[in-house]
Amino acid sequence: MASKSLLPEINIERLPKHVAIIMDGNGRWAKKRALPRVVGHEYGVKSVRTVTEAAASLGVKYLTLYTFSTENWNRPKLEVTAIMTLLVRTIRKEVATLQKNNIRLRTIGDIKGLPTDAYNELLEAMKLTENNTQMDLILAINYSARWDIIQATKAIAQRVKSGELEVEQINETEISNALDTGHFPEPELLIRTSGEYRISNFMLWEMAYGEFYFTDAYWPEFDKESFYKAIIDYQKRERRFGKTSEQITDHHNA
C-alpha cells in the first residue's frame, strides 16, 4: 500500500523562494548495486526531473542544483566525459518539458570553460526558455563559490580602476550583485543528500542566513516525498537573522 503523501502538510504561504541542492551520492548508490558510477549519474537525472517538477508545481521560484563543481574536473577523465555527455543529452531531451512546465533554464559558473557542445546546448536551451515564468532552474556548472567570489572581486576592482565606483561604495549589495548568483535571491534552504555534512565550496556568501537540511538518502533515491519532507522541516524552523526569538515573535505579531 502506498504511504500517505506529505504534500498536505506543506504550508504553501511559507514556501522558500529559493531552494539549492547539493546532489550527492550517485557514485555510492551505484557501488551499492555493483553498477558503474555513470549509471548512478543516469539515475541521478531521474531525481533531477522529479524534484524540478515537484518544486515548480509547489510554487518554489528558484531551484539551484550543484551539477558540476570546479573541483569535479579532477575526477577520472571517463567520468567527466560521461557527466558532460549526460548533461548535453538531458538538456536536449528535457527542453520540451521545461517549456511545457514554463521553467526558465539558467546557469551559474564558468560555463565558457565547458566543452563546446555542452556550452552550445546550454546557451540554446537558455535562449529557448528565457521567457518562462513559473520557476528558474539554475544549474551550477563549473561553479565553485570561491571562483565566484574571485570573479566578482575582479569585476569590482575593474570598476574602481575605471573610476566608476569608489572604494567606499563597496558594500554587501555591490558584492552580491557582482556574483554570478546576483540575479537571484539568496537560498533560504540548502539540501545536501548522502549523509555528508559539508558545504563543499557552494554558495559560501549566499548561505550566510540560509537553513541547511541533510538527509542520508543518496541522490538517486531522493524523490518527491523526500523533497516535501525537507520543505516541511524547513517550515518548522524559526529564521532569526541574528535577532532574538522574542523580536521575531513580536515582528510576527506586529
Residues 6+ apart with CB under 8 A from 160: 166, 167, 170
The least distance separating ligand FPP from the CB of residue 69, rounded to whole angstroms, comes to 7
CB within 8 Å of 207: residues ≥ 6 apart: 20, 186, 187, 190, 199
Instruction: From 26-34, 101-109, 154-162, 174-182, give the range in contact with ligand FPP by CB under 6 A.
Output: 26-34
By CB under 6 A, tell whether 90 contacts ligand FPP. yes
Residue nearest to ligand FPP (CB): 27
45 sits near ligand FPP (criterion: CB under 6 A): yes
Backbone angles phi, psi at 103, to 5 degrees: -105, 135
Kindly tell me which of 25 and 109 has the beta carbon lying closer to ligand FPP.
Answer: 25
SS3 67: strand
Query: Is the distance from CB of 238 to CB of 197 less than 8 angstroms?
Result: no
CA distance 47 to 58: 16
Q: How far apart are CA 202 and CA 178, in angstroms?
A: 16
Catalytic residue flag (residue 102): no
Q: Provide the minimum distance between the beta carbon of 73 and ligand FPP in the complex, in angstroms, as a whole number.
A: 11
CB of 65 vs ligand FPP, minimal distance in Å: 5
Q: How many positions of this chain bind ligand FPP (CB under 6 A)?
A: 19
Residue 210, classed as helix, strand or coil, is: coil
Footprint (CB under 6 A) of ligand FPP, residues 91-150:
139
Q: Rounded to whole angstroms, how far apart are CA atoms 21 and 219? A: 10
Residue 24 C-beta: closest distance to ligand FPP, Å: 5
- CB contact at 8 A, 144 and 108: no
* Comparison of 202 and 228: residue with beta carbon closer to ligand FPP: 202
Q: How many CB atoms lie within 10 A of CB 61?
A: 17
b/e map of 117-145 (b: 16 or more CB within 10 Å)?
Answer: ebbebbeebbeebeebebbbbbbbbbbbb
Residue in 6, 36, 50, 72 binding ligand FPP, rule: CB under 6 A: 72
Residue 184 or 219 having the CB closest to ligand FPP:
219
Which of these is catalytic: 24, 136, 148, 180?
A: 24
Residue choice 17, 28, 61, 159 for contact with ligand FPP (CB under 6 A): 28
Contacts of 93 (CB under 8 A, 6+ apart): none
Q: Tell me how crowded residue 34 is: count the other CB atoms within 10 A of its CB.
A: 6
15, 16, 21, 26: which one binds ligand FPP (CB under 6 A)? 26
**Does the footprint of ligand FPP cover residue 217 (CB under 6 A)?**
no
Active site residue 136: no
Please state the closest distance from residue 76 (CB atom) to ligand FPP, in A: 11
What residue ranges bind ligand FPP (CB under 6 A)? 23-28, 41, 44-45, 48, 65, 67, 72, 83, 86-87, 90, 139, 219
The residues that are catalytic are 24, 72
